[in-house]
Each structure stands twice: as structure tokens, then as C-alpha cells.
Chain A
Amino acid sequence: MRRVSIVGIGSTQFRPETPEKNFKELMYEAASRAYIDAGIDPRKDLDCVITSSEDLWEGVAIFDEYVPDQLGGVLKPVFTVGGDGLHGIIHGYMLIKTGYFDLVAVEAHSKASEIEDIDKVYRFALDPIYIRPVVDQPHGLAALEMMNTMRLFDITYDILDMTIMKNHLNALEWGSTYARIFDYENIEASEYIAQPLREVDISPHTDGAIVTVLASEEKARELTDDPIWIDGVGWATQSGRYERMLHNPPVALNTAANKAYEMAGIENPFKELDFAEVDDRYSFREPASLSMLRLDGGNLMEMVSEGVYTLDGELPVNTGGGFLGNGYPLEAGGLMKLLHAVKQLRGEAGSNQLDDPEKALVSTRREIPSSSYAVVILSR
């Protein structure tokens, strides 16, 4: 069976505002970097281009039509996934697996700063009859989810505080505009947005674009000596009704992860993985994801307090600082995590570099009120 690899990745900086560039220019910048990184000419070499987006983030209908020019995809197979960038990666993976495609580019971006009232867009995602009239902004729903998650997984504020401090610390290396050095006093001073959700628990939005180039095994051998392999992928959606999901653990993440583990031949993920990049759109999502991904060793509190998930620990998590440290780039979230993982595996992570990592997991969840998860296992 032919394997699929990542041969190029490029991104813009992630910043709260990018007034000097429009979304096409952001995409172009990331794409140029990715194509140079992979050593390809998109017009000649690319077989397919995939973008991940939703119309309402972009402020236009049928966003798909705006993408081919700046990605070098004119008169090529190009399409858009209504999902996270990691869903785009999964589609690219499948395309290459069919045997008909050799080189696929996957793009996702965020121009959150241009959305006039982002809370209104979130509200627009809610059921128009039952939920929209009673929910003012998405963090209210996140607070309900937090309450339930803390109960289900025995998560305490101590765990959350340590997660927040860790991720911000990790993000400093990436030059993130949001990263800062926290102590408990800073965190305690943080205000409640909707109890129990504090301001520090929320990842702020950021702008940026990422492009990844996937290649089949033969093509990858031509292009590079050290491709990053995609060993397994999994994706699942729990339900379309947020109110129904609130009271249940995120089992779809488990479904997605199991599929990916099975494909990658992983039986004991905690032992076999060297690090993981998991969803931390809200601070409580990281420990909950770790539990559902079977990466908590049975005792979350012990693991966190022993520093297992820090850079020096046994299983570093969010080595790039995650969304808490870097900001949340809407549908590019999954690709931001993938970027951090690829940099680690290639040994390009600067002072965050782990000691010779071989296998990594990347997982993400789409924005509220979605329950679509995607998991990708990478190896060197």
C-alpha cells in the first residue's frame, strides 16, 4: 500500500490583525513558502488543491470560487472542504491513496480580524429556533461544556492553570503575539466570562494562513530525503445538536482516534507516541482530549502535576503552545497544530526542540457548535 507523506509546509506569521494583506495575499504568502519548501512548481506539479473554509467566515457565498489563482490551482482539480484544515489533510491523504494523485496541496487560513462581529457569526451556527434566541455568544455554550467536562473527567482548576501556563510558555519560542509568562496571581486575576469559564481559558482569535504539500511515497523520495509520513488518519462527527452533546463525553474523538491508531498500528498510544498536539481552543479541552485519546495514563491529575505533558516530560503536549499561546486561527487550527508537529519531527523547533521525536499525534475539533474531530498520526 502506498504511503503518504508531508513534503512541504509553509505559513504566514500568526497575528491578531493583518491590515496590510487581504486573505488572498495571506494564502499566496503561505503557498509560496510551502512550494519552495517542497521544491515544486505548483503550475506543473500539483495534481490537486484542497482548501478548508466556511462561507460565513469569509463574508462571501460559495467561497470555493475565490481560491485557485493565488494557490497556483487554475484549471486544476481544486475543491473546498467545509471543515478544519486537518479534514483537508485527510481528504488529501485519501486522494493520494487512490493511486491517481501524487502531489496535493492543502490550505487553510483565518482572517478573523476582518469579521465585524464574530460573535454574531457564531450565533448564526446555532439552531435558529431553540438555541439562538437564548444564547448571546459562544462562550456561554463553552461554559456549559466546561462545567460538564470538568465533572466527567475530574478536571480541577489546578489542571487548567498548569495547562495555560505550559502552553503560553511553549508559545514564546514561536514568537507568538499572545504568549506571556503567567503565574498563579495573573491567572487568579482573570475575570469570568461565563462561569466557570475565565478569560484565560479562552484562546483569542488570530489571522494567518498555512499551506501543506502532501506527496505519494515515490514522489516524496524524489523530492526530499526526510519526508514526514502520515501513518494514520481518523475523523468523526458526534452529532449535529450541541445541546445533546453537552452532557456526554466527546466520544467521537475516541472514534476518530481509534481509527487512526488502528491504521498506524498503535496499541498503547501513551507509550508509543513521542508528543501530541491536541485541541486547546478552551483550556479544558486539552485535558479532556488527552483522556479521550487514551493519553492520560488513567490519572490526569497525577500526570499534570508531575509535568508529564511539559517539554521535559514523558509525553509533551502542545509543544508549539497550542491555541492558548498562539491564538485560534479558525479553520486553520488543525494545520497550525500540524505545523508545530512537523517542525518538531524535522528538528526545526528551536529551543522547544524535543530529543529526537519519532511519532506524533495531531488532533483538532472544529469551532463551537461543531463536534467534528480529526486525528492524524505522523512519523519521521
Chain B
Amino acid sequence: MKMNINFKNRVACVGAGMTLFRRRLQETPDELMWLAAKTALDEAGLTIRDIDCIVFGTAPDNFDGIHMQSEALADGGGAINKPYTRVFVGGGTGVFSAIAGWWHVASGLCKRVLVIAEEKMSHVQPHPQYLFHHIFDPVTEKPLGVNLIWIFALEMHRYMYKYNISKEDIAKVSVKNKRNALDHPAAQLGAEITVEDVLNSEVLVWPVQKLDISPVSDGAVAIVYTDEEGAKQLTDEPIWIEGVGWSLDTMYWTNRDLAFPTYLYYAGKMAYKMAGIHNPRKEIDFAEVYDPFDYKELHHMEGLQLARKGEAPILTREGVTERDGDLPINPSGGLLGVGNPIAAAGLMKVAEVFWQLRGEAGRRQVKKDVVTGLAQAWGDLMQVGTVIIMRR
């Protein structure tokens, strides 16, 4: 095991919990937060009284139709007369809230921190995609009537064109992740599908088809951090946070080459430097990369230097990214399979890395022995990459 020499205070993850990911869950957002927090605290062997600080993550404010959403949901997270804060970087918020939790402990200010991410998308009527219309520049972009699928179609097209990638290869990601999700007890869309199913599904905005996309979901995830001393008291198997990184690119996305996620390259570089990783492809044992669309998994693998530019589809085709492969990617089933309650989906990835490293992932456990795992999320206007690296 490599010791991280950069920090005085090491941070350990000692518990994780999540709710089901479903469309139209009956629970209110507060209740979802409470459920996730309760399972995480139970797993860590703590109660809310033991927690010093609470970090909350949720992506846009408007899903719940409440201004200052974090304040309205404080009770659900147990933030009653406690330090409580909300951070956000759009879709990258899930992993970012885990990063924010890290600095609460690493700074020495808090000893035990509860990180909760919650998203309830399904009560936006008629469809959450309408809300995403408002993330665009009100003067130059909104009048065009854009939504997220449009711009991701642009990005996917550019990526396919530049590296000469076929739709079949990209569809393999969807097939793999949905199959992986069959083993996830909280998954929304686990399924045994074929490449043909993806290629024959409804075209939304070419080249994006229905089975290329993750679903609309509700859900919440929570994790618990402690300092080094606390971790040793609580468990024999703490999982250490070894590196974090994030980076935000310019909001003028029209001026960037969409074929390569530069922001993620920078975020990964920051995290690798912190964790002392020089060759990510060799030193990262498995990764949970953000896959709201199937091409994004490939795109992000390249941004994280887990594959060379244009190489990720080849790795996928050769089965390297399968659960029993050399570099398992999204053994949980990812957003395509488990579901995509935006911020919660990001934190689900962190939780999955935690469970995998502890060997507690059950039927989802990857075949090889894993020591170092990485979780990543992405958001805003194709603009932000957030990365966290954990070690056993």
C-alpha cells in the first residue's frame, strides 16, 4: 500500500448507503435523504449524534420546485443545529460532494462527516428535460430551443467522427452496463439486451438513441467519512481517500473541441498527482466513470488516461472493461443500468468503489483483486470533471 505523503490528516470512508433508484418513488426528498443517511450510518456503526458536519449535494435547485433547496431539506439530512453546507458543480455534484466531505476532514475541522446526495427528478412535469432548457445562456442559446440531448448528440457525433468510431462499439457500453446492473439490488434498468436492441431503439437526436441514454430517476446516496483515528476505532477495513481533483472549463462550450474532455484530463491529473499515481492505466484497478450516455463512458476513460485517445471503444470491444476484464469499468452498472438521479448517481459511484474495495459488492464484485479505485462524474455544460481516488 502506498502512503499518501501530501496530507497530514488522512480521510477514511467507513460506511455507505443508498435508496432504491426508481422513477416516481413515493418518498419525499427529505425522506430519501434520511433513508440513505440511515443505511450509511448503520453500516458505519454510528448515529447522527456522532456526526460533526453534514455535506449535501444536489444538482440544479429546481427539481423540487423549491428555492434554497438545501435549506428546505436540512432536516432530512439530520442537520439540526449542526454545521451543514451544500456544494454544487452541476452534474458533477455527486462525486464533488464526496470531495467536499474530504476537505472537511482533511482540514482537521471535522472528525466525522456525513455526505448525502439526493435528487428527485420525476416530479418535474411534463419531463425533467424541460428544466435543462434553463441551463443555457439566456441570450445566445436558449432561443434556439436547445436541450441536453441536442448538445450531447453534437459531442457524440464529433467524438465518433474524429476517432472513426462506430455506433456498434458505443452500443456495447450500454449492453455491458445494463447487464452489470442486473446484479445491483437498487438498480432501475438492469436488463439483458443486445447491440441490435440499442441500434433499433427510437432515435431521439441522431446519433443518440433511446437505449444510449440513462433514465430519469429518484434516489439518494450517503457516505460517512472519519479521520484516521476514528476509522481505526470503527473498522478494520477503512477505505482511504487518496486523491481528489476537479476542473471547470469555460462556459463557452461552442468554442471547444468536443472530441476530448480537457477539463477531465486536468481533474484527473490533479487527483493522480495527489495520490502519487504516474501510470493510471496500470495503477488504477477499476473505475466507475460517469456514463449518462454510453459514449460518455468511452470519452471519460480517455480523459482520465485510462485509455489512449480513440482507444476506449477497442478496449470495450475486447472485453477489457467487463467485470472479469483487466480494467473493469462501471461494475455497478453505472448510470445506464442503475439509474441517474444526477447528484445521487455520482455519489453512488463513490459508494460502489467503497464496496468493491471492501469486497462487499456481492455478485457485482470484480474478479481481480482490487486495491485502487476511481470514481468520476461530469456536469454543467460539458464543462466540469470531478475525480476521487480511493485505496484499500
List the A residue with the shortest CB-CB distance to B63. Answer: A61
List the A residue with the shortest CB-CB distance to B382. Answer: A65
| Interface check A252, CB cutoff 8 A | yes
Residues from chain B with Cβ under 8 Å of A128 in the complex: 65-66
The A220-274 residues at the B interface (CB cut-off 8 A) are 233-241, 251-252, 255-256, 259
In angstroms, how far is the closest chain A Cβ from the Cβ of B35?
Answer: 16
Residues from chain A with Cβ under 8 Å of B107 in the complex: 93-95, 97-98
| Interface check B88, CB cutoff 8 A | yes
Q: Which one of A97, A98, A235, A252 has the highest number of Cβ atoms from chain B below 10 Å of its Cβ?
A: A98
Residues from chain A with Cβ under 8 Å of B84 in the complex: 235-237, 372
From B9, B90, B134, B270, contact of A64 by CB (8 A) = B90
From B82, B248, B270, contact of A74 by CB (8 A) = B248
**Is B250 a contact of A97 with CB atoms below 8 Å?**
no
- For the complex, give the distance between the alpha carbons of A252 and B74 in Å: 13
For chain B, the count of residues having a C-beta within 8 Å of the partner chain is 65
- For the complex, give the distance between the alpha carbons of A251 and B108 in Å: 24
From A1, A78, A235, contact of B85 by CB (8 A) = A235
Hey, what's the 0/1 contact readout for B60-86 against A, CB within 8 Å counting as 1?
111001111111111110011111111
| Interface check A60, CB cutoff 8 A | yes
**Is B249 a contact of A75 with CB atoms below 8 Å?**
yes
In angstroms, how far is the closest chain B Cβ from the Cβ of A59?
Answer: 7
Residues from chain A with Cβ under 8 Å of B103 in the complex: 91, 94-95, 97-98
List the B residue with the shortest CB-CB distance to A235. Answer: B83
- For the complex, give the distance between the alpha carbons of A263 and B68 in Å: 29
| Interface check A69, CB cutoff 8 A | yes
- For the complex, give the distance between the alpha carbons of A240 and B251 in Å: 33
Residues from chain B with Cβ under 8 Å of A174 in the complex: none
List the B residue with the shortest CB-CB distance to A53. Answer: B88
**Is B83 a contact of A99 with CB atoms below 8 Å?**
no
Q: Which one of B71, B74, B246 has the highest number of Cβ atoms from chain A below 10 Å of its Cβ?
A: B71
The B182-211 residues at the A interface (CB cut-off 8 A) are none
**Is B6 a contact of A366 with CB atoms below 8 Å?**
no
| Interface check B59, CB cutoff 8 A | yes
From A69, A237, A238, contact of B252 by CB (8 A) = A69
Residues from chain B with Cβ under 8 Å of A91 in the complex: 85, 87, 100, 103
**Is B83 a contact of A73 with CB atoms below 8 Å?**
no
**Is A237 a contact of B71 with CB atoms below 8 Å?**
yes
From A60, A100, A125, A241, contact of B68 by CB (8 A) = A125
Hey, what's the 0/1 contact readout for A73-95 against B, CB within 8 Å counting as 1?
11111111111000100110111
Count of A-B contacts judged by CB separation below 8 Å: 199
In angstroms, how far is the closest chain B Cβ from the Cβ of A55?
Answer: 4
In angstroms, how far is the closest chain A Cβ from the Cβ of B76?
Answer: 7
| Interface check B109, CB cutoff 8 A | yes
| Interface check A62, CB cutoff 8 A | yes
Q: Which one of B81, B106, B132, B379 has the highest number of Cβ atoms from chain A below 10 Å of its Cβ?
A: B81
**Is A64 a contact of B85 with CB atoms below 8 Å?**
no
| Interface check B135, CB cutoff 8 A | yes
- For the complex, give the distance between the alpha carbons of A233 and B248 in Å: 27
Residues from chain B with Cβ under 8 Å of A61 in the complex: 60-62, 131-132, 134-135
Secondary structure of the A side of the interface?
mixed
List the A residue with the shortest CB-CB distance to B252. Answer: A69
**Is B266 a contact of A236 with CB atoms below 8 Å?**
no
Residues from chain B with Cβ under 8 Å of A252 in the complex: 81
**Is A251 a contact of B83 with CB atoms below 8 Å?**
no
| Interface check B354, CB cutoff 8 A | no
**Is B60 a contact of A68 with CB atoms below 8 Å?**
no
**Is A125 a contact of B72 with CB atoms below 8 Å?**
yes
| Interface check A66, CB cutoff 8 A | yes
| Interface check B384, CB cutoff 8 A | yes
In angstroms, how far is the closest chain B Cβ from the Cβ of A114?
Answer: 11
- For the complex, give the distance between the alpha carbons of A338 and B380 in Å: 30
| Interface check B89, CB cutoff 8 A | yes
**Is B66 a contact of A236 with CB atoms below 8 Å?**
no
| Interface check A147, CB cutoff 8 A | no
The B6-45 residues at the A interface (CB cut-off 8 A) are 6-9, 30
| Interface check A41, CB cutoff 8 A | no
List the A residue with the shortest CB-CB distance to B142. Answer: A60
Q: Which one of A90, A95, A99, A100 has the highest number of Cβ atoms from chain B below 10 Å of its Cβ?
A: A100
- For the complex, give the distance between the alpha carbons of A93 and B262 in Å: 28
- For the complex, give the distance between the alpha carbons of A59 and B69 in Å: 15
**Is A237 a contact of B100 with CB atoms below 8 Å?**
no
List the B residue with the shortest CB-CB distance to A331. Answer: B68
**Is A65 a contact of B135 with CB atoms below 8 Å?**
yes
The A319-372 residues at the B interface (CB cut-off 8 A) are 366-367, 369-372
In angstroms, how far is the closest chain B Cβ from the Cβ of A275?
Answer: 25
From A76, A100, A259, A367, contact of B6 by CB (8 A) = A100
**Is B251 a contact of A68 with CB atoms below 8 Å?**
yes
| Interface check B290, CB cutoff 8 A | no
**Is A259 a contact of B83 with CB atoms below 8 Å?**
yes
Residues from chain B with Cβ under 8 Å of A69 in the complex: 250-252
**Is A55 a contact of B60 with CB atoms below 8 Å?**
yes
Residues from chain A with Cβ under 8 Å of B104 in the complex: 94
**Is B7 a contact of A75 with CB atoms below 8 Å?**
no
List the A residue with the shortest CB-CB distance to B60. Answer: A61
Instruction: Pick 19 A–B contacts, CB within 8 A, sort by A.
Output: A55-B61, A60-B135, A61-B132, A62-B88, A62-B380, A66-B251, A68-B250, A77-B246, A78-B247, A82-B69, A90-B85, A97-B109, A125-B71, A233-B109, A235-B85, A237-B81, A240-B30, A372-B84, A372-B85
Binding site for B on A (CB under 8 A): 1, 54-56, 59-62, 64-69, 73-83, 87, 90-91, 93-95, 97-100, 121-122, 124-125, 127-128, 233-241, 251-252, 255-256, 259, 366-367, 369-372
Q: Which 6 residue pairs are nearest across A and B when measured between Cβ atoms? A: A240-B74, A97-B107, A65-B380, A82-B86, A94-B107, A125-B67
